[in-house]
Structure 1
Amino acid sequence: MEHIPKEGPVILCSNHISVLDPPLIGSCFRRKIHYMAKEELFRIPVLSFLIKKFGAFPVKRGVGDRTALRSALQLLEQGKLFGIFPEGTRSKDGRLGKGYTGVGLIVHKSDAPVIPVAIIGSYRLFQPLTVVFGKPIDFYQQRAMSASADTYKLTTEKIMAEIQTLLDRHRL
Protein backbone atom coordinates (compact mmCIF):
# COMPACT_ATOMS: atom_id res chain seq x y z
CA MET A 1 0.00 0.00 0.00
CA GLU A 2 2.99 2.33 0.46
CA HIS A 3 3.18 2.57 -3.35
CA ILE A 4 -0.26 4.18 -3.68
CA PRO A 5 -0.42 7.99 -3.64
CA LYS A 6 -2.90 9.18 -1.02
CA GLU A 7 -4.34 11.74 -3.42
CA GLY A 8 -4.34 12.55 -7.10
CA PRO A 9 -4.93 10.35 -10.11
CA VAL A 10 -3.85 6.71 -10.08
CA ILE A 11 -4.35 3.88 -12.57
CA LEU A 12 -4.61 0.46 -10.91
CA CYS A 13 -4.01 -2.39 -13.39
CA SER A 14 -4.83 -5.85 -12.10
CA ASN A 15 -5.17 -9.43 -13.20
CA HIS A 16 -8.80 -10.63 -13.13
CA ILE A 17 -9.79 -13.95 -11.59
CA SER A 18 -13.28 -13.37 -10.14
CA VAL A 19 -16.29 -11.10 -10.16
CA LEU A 20 -15.23 -10.29 -6.60
CA ASP A 21 -11.98 -8.62 -7.69
CA PRO A 22 -13.31 -5.02 -7.80
CA PRO A 23 -14.72 -5.07 -4.24
CA LEU A 24 -11.64 -6.95 -2.98
CA ILE A 25 -9.26 -4.32 -4.33
CA GLY A 26 -11.66 -1.54 -3.32
CA SER A 27 -11.69 -2.78 0.27
CA CYS A 28 -8.00 -1.85 0.50
CA PHE A 29 -8.73 1.87 -0.03
CA ARG A 30 -10.60 4.67 1.62
CA ARG A 31 -10.89 6.36 -1.76
CA LYS A 32 -13.45 5.14 -4.29
CA ILE A 33 -12.05 3.24 -7.27
CA HIS A 34 -13.83 3.82 -10.56
CA TYR A 35 -13.83 0.72 -12.77
CA MET A 36 -14.74 0.06 -16.35
CA ALA A 37 -17.34 -2.71 -16.37
CA LYS A 38 -18.78 -4.55 -19.34
CA GLU A 39 -21.92 -2.81 -20.56
CA GLU A 40 -24.01 -5.98 -20.20
CA LEU A 41 -23.88 -5.56 -16.41
CA PHE A 42 -25.68 -2.22 -16.71
CA ARG A 43 -28.72 -3.95 -18.25
CA ILE A 44 -29.47 -5.76 -14.97
CA PRO A 45 -31.50 -3.21 -12.96
CA VAL A 46 -30.41 -3.93 -9.36
CA LEU A 47 -26.81 -4.70 -10.32
CA SER A 48 -26.64 -1.60 -12.51
CA PHE A 49 -27.76 0.56 -9.61
CA LEU A 50 -25.16 -0.97 -7.27
CA ILE A 51 -22.17 -0.84 -9.58
CA LYS A 52 -22.93 2.76 -10.53
CA LYS A 53 -23.04 3.62 -6.80
CA PHE A 54 -19.62 2.03 -6.44
CA GLY A 55 -18.23 4.16 -9.29
CA ALA A 56 -18.32 1.78 -12.26
CA PHE A 57 -19.01 2.97 -15.79
CA PRO A 58 -19.81 0.92 -18.90
CA VAL A 59 -17.45 -0.15 -21.65
CA LYS A 60 -18.37 -1.86 -24.91
CA ARG A 61 -15.94 -4.72 -25.18
CA GLY A 62 -14.35 -5.75 -28.45
CA VAL A 63 -14.53 -2.28 -30.00
CA GLY A 64 -12.66 0.96 -29.39
CA ASP A 65 -15.20 2.51 -27.02
CA ARG A 66 -14.31 6.20 -27.16
CA THR A 67 -16.95 7.12 -24.58
CA ALA A 68 -15.44 4.76 -21.99
CA LEU A 69 -11.93 6.00 -22.79
CA ARG A 70 -13.07 9.63 -22.36
CA SER A 71 -14.74 8.72 -19.05
CA ALA A 72 -11.53 7.13 -17.76
CA LEU A 73 -9.45 10.14 -18.78
CA GLN A 74 -11.95 12.57 -17.20
CA LEU A 75 -11.82 10.66 -13.92
CA LEU A 76 -8.04 10.81 -13.95
CA GLU A 77 -8.11 14.55 -14.73
CA GLN A 78 -10.32 14.93 -11.63
CA GLY A 79 -7.68 13.16 -9.53
CA LYS A 80 -9.63 9.92 -9.06
CA LEU A 81 -8.52 6.32 -8.68
CA PHE A 82 -9.19 4.36 -11.86
CA GLY A 83 -9.12 0.57 -11.87
CA ILE A 84 -8.88 -1.57 -14.97
CA PHE A 85 -8.37 -5.22 -15.79
CA PRO A 86 -6.27 -5.05 -18.97
CA GLU A 87 -7.20 -8.64 -19.92
CA GLY A 88 -10.76 -7.43 -20.44
CA THR A 89 -12.30 -10.55 -18.88
CA ARG A 90 -11.75 -13.02 -16.07
CA SER A 91 -9.10 -15.69 -16.46
CA LYS A 92 -10.60 -19.16 -16.83
CA ASP A 93 -7.44 -20.96 -15.67
CA GLY A 94 -5.90 -18.43 -13.27
CA ARG A 95 -3.07 -17.53 -15.64
CA LEU A 96 -2.51 -13.98 -16.80
CA GLY A 97 -3.86 -13.37 -20.30
CA LYS A 98 -2.90 -10.86 -22.94
CA GLY A 99 -3.75 -7.23 -22.21
CA TYR A 100 -5.77 -5.02 -24.51
CA THR A 101 -4.06 -1.87 -25.79
CA GLY A 102 -6.82 0.44 -24.53
CA VAL A 103 -5.04 0.58 -21.20
CA GLY A 104 -1.89 1.69 -23.02
CA LEU A 105 -3.83 4.51 -24.65
CA ILE A 106 -5.20 5.66 -21.28
CA VAL A 107 -1.71 5.60 -19.75
CA HIS A 108 -0.26 7.48 -22.71
CA LYS A 109 -2.95 10.19 -22.60
CA SER A 110 -2.71 10.77 -18.84
CA ASP A 111 0.06 11.62 -16.44
CA ALA A 112 -1.31 9.33 -13.76
CA PRO A 113 1.01 6.87 -12.04
CA VAL A 114 0.34 3.24 -12.94
CA ILE A 115 0.30 0.70 -10.13
CA PRO A 116 0.35 -3.00 -11.07
CA VAL A 117 -1.85 -5.20 -8.88
CA ALA A 118 -1.75 -8.98 -8.50
CA ILE A 119 -4.54 -11.02 -6.97
CA ILE A 120 -3.07 -14.34 -5.90
CA GLY A 121 -4.97 -17.37 -4.66
CA SER A 122 -8.59 -18.32 -4.91
CA TYR A 123 -11.85 -17.21 -3.39
CA ARG A 124 -12.44 -20.68 -1.96
CA LEU A 125 -13.33 -20.93 1.72
CA PHE A 126 -10.27 -21.26 3.97
CA GLN A 127 -7.88 -20.73 1.04
CA PRO A 128 -5.36 -17.89 1.23
CA LEU A 129 -5.98 -14.87 -0.97
CA THR A 130 -3.45 -12.08 -1.35
CA VAL A 131 -3.54 -8.69 -3.07
CA VAL A 132 -0.12 -7.27 -3.93
CA PHE A 133 0.39 -3.68 -5.06
CA GLY A 134 3.60 -3.13 -7.01
CA LYS A 135 5.73 -0.05 -7.32
CA PRO A 136 4.60 2.62 -9.81
CA ILE A 137 5.70 1.76 -13.33
CA ASP A 138 7.85 4.36 -15.07
CA PHE A 139 6.33 5.30 -18.43
CA TYR A 140 8.47 8.34 -19.09
CA GLN A 141 9.91 6.92 -22.34
CA GLN A 142 6.56 5.67 -23.66
CA ARG A 143 4.83 8.97 -22.90
CA ALA A 144 7.61 10.81 -24.75
CA MET A 145 6.99 8.69 -27.86
CA SER A 146 4.43 9.71 -30.45
CA ALA A 147 0.94 8.33 -29.94
CA SER A 148 0.52 5.16 -31.98
CA ALA A 149 -0.87 1.65 -31.78
CA ASP A 150 2.70 0.37 -31.32
CA THR A 151 3.28 2.69 -28.36
CA TYR A 152 0.01 1.60 -26.72
CA LYS A 153 0.93 -2.05 -27.29
CA LEU A 154 4.40 -1.55 -25.77
CA THR A 155 2.88 0.20 -22.75
CA THR A 156 0.30 -2.56 -22.26
CA GLU A 157 2.97 -5.26 -22.54
CA LYS A 158 5.07 -3.50 -19.89
CA ILE A 159 2.07 -3.40 -17.53
CA MET A 160 1.28 -7.07 -18.11
CA ALA A 161 4.92 -8.02 -17.51
CA GLU A 162 4.89 -6.16 -14.18
CA ILE A 163 1.67 -7.91 -13.10
CA GLN A 164 3.23 -11.27 -14.09
CA THR A 165 6.35 -10.45 -12.06
CA LEU A 166 4.18 -9.77 -9.00
CA LEU A 167 2.29 -13.03 -9.55
CA ASP A 168 5.53 -15.02 -9.86
CA ARG A 169 7.23 -13.35 -6.92
CA HIS A 170 4.32 -13.65 -4.48
CA ARG A 171 2.60 -16.85 -5.57
CA LEU A 172 1.54 -18.87 -2.53
Structure 2
Amino acid sequence: MKPFNGFFVFIYYVVGFITRLLHPTDVEGMDRLPQGGALLCPNHASDWDPVMVALVLPVNYRLHIMAKEELFRNPILGWILRRVGAFPVSRGGSDIQSVKTAMQAIKSGDNLLMFPEGTTVRNGIGHVDGLPAHAHGGVAMIGIRTGAKLVPVFVDGEKKPFRRTRIIFGEPYEPRITGKHGTAEEIQTVADEVLAAAYALGGQAVGGKSVCE
Protein backbone atom coordinates (compact mmCIF):
# COMPACT_ATOMS: atom_id res chain seq x y z
CA MET A 1 0.00 0.00 0.00
CA LYS A 2 1.40 3.36 -1.02
CA PRO A 3 1.76 5.74 1.96
CA PHE A 4 -0.22 8.51 0.26
CA ASN A 5 -3.92 7.89 -0.26
CA GLY A 6 -7.21 9.31 0.91
CA PHE A 7 -7.25 7.24 4.08
CA PHE A 8 -3.67 8.24 4.89
CA VAL A 9 -4.45 11.93 4.41
CA PHE A 10 -7.45 11.62 6.75
CA ILE A 11 -5.38 9.85 9.43
CA TYR A 12 -2.50 12.30 8.97
CA TYR A 13 -4.61 15.35 9.76
CA VAL A 14 -6.88 13.84 12.43
CA VAL A 15 -4.14 12.00 14.36
CA GLY A 16 -1.77 14.87 13.70
CA PHE A 17 -4.13 17.38 15.29
CA ILE A 18 -4.55 15.27 18.42
CA THR A 19 -0.85 14.43 18.65
CA ARG A 20 0.25 18.03 18.29
CA LEU A 21 -2.07 19.01 21.13
CA LEU A 22 -0.70 16.32 23.45
CA HIS A 23 2.92 16.39 22.29
CA PRO A 24 3.92 19.69 20.64
CA THR A 25 7.22 19.61 18.78
CA ASP A 26 10.14 21.85 17.89
CA VAL A 27 11.51 20.71 14.53
CA GLU A 28 14.91 21.50 13.05
CA GLY A 29 16.62 20.49 9.81
CA MET A 30 13.61 19.86 7.56
CA ASP A 31 15.48 21.59 4.76
CA ARG A 32 18.08 18.81 4.88
CA LEU A 33 15.66 16.07 3.86
CA PRO A 34 16.22 14.43 0.45
CA GLN A 35 13.16 14.38 -1.77
CA GLY A 36 13.02 10.63 -2.39
CA GLY A 37 14.76 7.36 -1.67
CA ALA A 38 15.85 8.40 1.82
CA LEU A 39 16.27 6.17 4.86
CA LEU A 40 15.42 8.09 8.05
CA CYS A 41 17.29 6.71 11.07
CA PRO A 42 16.06 8.04 14.44
CA ASN A 43 17.07 7.04 17.93
CA HIS A 44 14.21 5.20 19.62
CA ALA A 45 13.19 6.34 23.11
CA SER A 46 9.40 5.96 23.02
CA ASP A 47 6.57 4.21 21.20
CA TRP A 48 5.47 7.72 20.18
CA ASP A 49 8.61 8.26 18.08
CA PRO A 50 7.44 6.87 14.70
CA VAL A 51 4.11 8.69 14.99
CA MET A 52 5.71 12.01 15.92
CA VAL A 53 8.40 11.84 13.25
CA ALA A 54 5.92 10.87 10.54
CA LEU A 55 3.54 13.69 11.45
CA VAL A 56 6.13 16.47 11.25
CA LEU A 57 6.98 15.44 7.68
CA PRO A 58 5.00 16.86 4.74
CA VAL A 59 1.80 14.95 4.04
CA ASN A 60 3.11 13.98 0.59
CA TYR A 61 6.55 12.79 1.77
CA ARG A 62 5.58 9.15 0.97
CA LEU A 63 6.97 7.55 4.10
CA HIS A 64 6.98 3.84 4.88
CA ILE A 65 7.65 2.69 8.45
CA MET A 66 9.22 -0.59 9.48
CA ALA A 67 7.36 -1.49 12.70
CA LYS A 68 7.51 -4.39 15.14
CA GLU A 69 5.21 -7.25 14.17
CA GLU A 70 3.48 -7.25 17.57
CA LEU A 71 1.60 -4.10 16.54
CA PHE A 72 0.01 -5.96 13.62
CA ARG A 73 -1.45 -8.77 15.73
CA ASN A 74 -4.47 -6.61 16.48
CA PRO A 75 -6.54 -6.94 13.28
CA ILE A 76 -7.91 -3.39 13.38
CA LEU A 77 -4.61 -1.71 14.23
CA GLY A 78 -2.77 -3.89 11.74
CA TRP A 79 -5.20 -2.89 8.97
CA ILE A 80 -4.75 0.80 9.78
CA LEU A 81 -0.95 0.53 9.89
CA ARG A 82 -0.79 -1.19 6.52
CA ARG A 83 -3.12 1.41 5.00
CA VAL A 84 -0.80 4.23 6.04
CA GLY A 85 2.34 2.57 4.68
CA ALA A 86 3.73 0.65 7.66
CA PHE A 87 4.84 -2.97 7.43
CA PRO A 88 5.87 -5.53 10.06
CA VAL A 89 9.30 -6.85 10.92
CA SER A 90 10.16 -9.77 13.17
CA ARG A 91 12.81 -8.70 15.68
CA GLY A 92 13.74 -12.24 16.70
CA GLY A 93 15.94 -12.98 13.70
CA SER A 94 16.34 -12.53 9.98
CA ASP A 95 13.14 -11.34 8.28
CA ILE A 96 13.77 -11.58 4.55
CA GLN A 97 10.31 -10.37 3.53
CA SER A 98 10.53 -7.17 5.57
CA VAL A 99 13.96 -6.45 4.09
CA LYS A 100 12.58 -6.95 0.58
CA THR A 101 9.63 -4.66 1.35
CA ALA A 102 11.97 -1.99 2.72
CA MET A 103 14.25 -2.14 -0.31
CA GLN A 104 11.33 -2.03 -2.75
CA ALA A 105 9.96 1.08 -1.04
CA ILE A 106 13.25 2.94 -1.40
CA LYS A 107 13.92 1.76 -4.94
CA SER A 108 10.47 2.99 -5.97
CA GLY A 109 11.44 6.50 -4.87
CA ASP A 110 9.55 6.46 -1.56
CA ASN A 111 11.16 7.01 1.84
CA LEU A 112 11.62 4.67 4.78
CA LEU A 113 11.76 5.20 8.54
CA MET A 114 13.75 2.52 10.34
CA PHE A 115 15.16 2.55 13.87
CA PRO A 116 18.83 1.43 13.96
CA GLU A 117 18.43 0.24 17.57
CA GLY A 118 15.50 -1.98 16.66
CA THR A 119 13.76 -1.39 19.99
CA THR A 120 12.96 1.39 22.40
CA VAL A 121 15.80 2.64 24.61
CA ARG A 122 14.11 3.87 27.77
CA ASN A 123 16.79 3.80 30.47
CA GLY A 124 18.75 6.92 29.68
CA ILE A 125 19.74 8.58 26.43
CA GLY A 126 21.96 6.27 24.44
CA HIS A 127 21.88 3.43 26.94
CA VAL A 128 19.92 0.21 27.45
CA ASP A 129 19.97 -1.09 31.03
CA GLY A 130 23.15 0.87 31.66
CA LEU A 131 24.92 -0.42 28.54
CA PRO A 132 25.62 1.62 25.39
CA ALA A 133 22.83 1.55 22.82
CA HIS A 134 23.56 -0.76 19.91
CA ALA A 135 22.84 -0.28 16.21
CA HIS A 136 21.84 -3.31 14.16
CA GLY A 137 23.53 -3.70 10.80
CA GLY A 138 20.28 -4.12 8.88
CA VAL A 139 19.71 -0.38 8.53
CA ALA A 140 23.12 0.04 6.91
CA MET A 141 22.72 -3.01 4.68
CA ILE A 142 19.40 -1.73 3.32
CA GLY A 143 20.86 1.73 2.78
CA ILE A 144 23.94 0.41 0.99
CA ARG A 145 22.10 -2.01 -1.28
CA THR A 146 19.49 0.53 -2.34
CA GLY A 147 21.81 3.53 -2.62
CA ALA A 148 19.62 5.43 -0.15
CA LYS A 149 20.92 8.42 1.74
CA LEU A 150 20.88 7.72 5.47
CA VAL A 151 19.43 10.61 7.45
CA PRO A 152 20.19 10.64 11.20
CA VAL A 153 17.25 11.91 13.25
CA PHE A 154 17.24 12.85 16.93
CA VAL A 155 14.04 12.62 18.98
CA ASP A 156 13.90 13.73 22.61
CA GLY A 157 13.49 10.89 25.07
CA GLU A 158 10.72 11.06 27.64
CA LYS A 159 7.39 12.21 26.23
CA LYS A 160 5.23 14.08 28.72
CA PRO A 161 1.83 15.55 27.80
CA PHE A 162 2.02 19.17 26.69
CA ARG A 163 5.81 19.31 26.98
CA ARG A 164 7.63 20.16 23.76
CA THR A 165 9.70 17.46 22.07
CA ARG A 166 12.69 18.22 19.86
CA ILE A 167 12.95 16.44 16.51
CA ILE A 168 16.14 17.22 14.59
CA PHE A 169 16.95 16.00 11.09
CA GLY A 170 20.66 15.76 10.31
CA GLU A 171 22.66 15.97 7.12
CA PRO A 172 22.13 13.03 4.73
CA TYR A 173 24.93 10.52 5.17
CA GLU A 174 26.40 8.53 2.26
CA PRO A 175 28.10 5.35 3.49
CA ARG A 176 31.76 4.81 2.65
CA ILE A 177 32.41 1.17 1.76
CA THR A 178 34.68 -0.97 -0.39
CA GLY A 179 33.18 -3.01 -3.20
CA LYS A 180 29.52 -3.12 -4.11
CA HIS A 181 27.99 -4.29 -0.83
CA GLY A 182 30.74 -3.67 1.73
CA THR A 183 32.12 -6.06 4.31
CA ALA A 184 30.29 -7.12 7.46
CA GLU A 185 32.59 -4.87 9.47
CA GLU A 186 31.91 -1.89 7.20
CA ILE A 187 28.16 -2.45 7.40
CA GLN A 188 28.27 -2.47 11.19
CA THR A 189 30.47 0.63 11.21
CA VAL A 190 27.98 2.51 9.02
CA ALA A 191 25.10 1.52 11.33
CA ASP A 192 27.08 2.62 14.39
CA GLU A 193 27.99 5.92 12.76
CA VAL A 194 24.48 6.88 11.75
CA LEU A 195 23.15 6.07 15.24
CA ALA A 196 25.96 8.07 16.84
CA ALA A 197 25.15 10.96 14.48
CA ALA A 198 21.48 10.83 15.53
CA TYR A 199 22.37 11.12 19.22
CA ALA A 200 24.94 13.83 18.47
CA LEU A 201 22.20 16.03 17.00
CA GLY A 202 20.72 16.14 20.50
CA GLY A 203 24.08 16.76 22.14
CA GLN A 204 24.39 13.16 23.29
CA ALA A 205 26.96 10.40 22.78
CA VAL A 206 26.55 6.65 22.54
CA GLY A 207 28.75 5.05 25.16
CA GLY A 208 31.48 7.62 24.60
CA LYS A 209 31.75 6.67 20.92
CA SER A 210 32.84 9.47 18.58
CA VAL A 211 30.27 10.60 16.05
CA CYS A 212 30.73 10.64 12.29
CA GLU A 213 32.08 13.83 10.81
Give the TM-score normalised by structure 1. Answer: 0.90
1:102 partnered with 2:131: no
Instruction: Classify the secondary structure of the residue corresponding to 1:163.
Output: helix
Shift in alpha-carbon separation, 1:70–1:159, aligned structure 2, 3 A: same
CA RMSD across the alignment:
1.6
Larger radius of gyration: 2
What amino acid sits opposite 2:146 in the alignment? S
Cα displacement (A) at 1:147 = 3.1
1:55 partnered with 2:85: yes
Give the TM-score normalised by structure 2. Answer: 0.73
1:22 partnered with 2:50: yes
Shift in alpha-carbon separation, 1:45–1:143, aligned structure 2, 3 A: farther
What amino acid sits opposite 1:153 in the alignment? Q
Contact 1:10–1:80 (CA under 8 A) maintained in structure 2 = yes
Alpha-carbon distance in 1 for matches of 2:178, 2:99: 17
Cα displacement (A) at 1:61 = 0.7
Name the count of aligned residue pairs: 167
Instruction: Classify the secondary structure of the residue corresponding to 2:156.
Output: strand
Match of 2:121 in 1: 91
1:164 partnered with 2:199: yes
What amino acid sits opposite 2:79 in the alignment? F
What amino acid sits opposite 1:53 in the alignment? R
Instruction: Classify the secondary structure of the residue corresponding to 2:186.
Output: helix
Cα displacement (A) at 1:33 = 1.6
Match of 2:185 in 1: 150
Alpha-carbon distance in 1 for matches of 2:120, 2:62: 22
Contact 1:10–1:113 (CA under 8 A) maintained in structure 2 = yes
1:124 partnered with 2:160: yes
Q: Percent identity?
A: 31
Instruction: Classify the secondary structure of the residue corresponding to 2:85.
Output: coil
CA deviation profile, 1:134-161 (whole Å, cap 9, x unmatched) = 011131x226465332121011011111
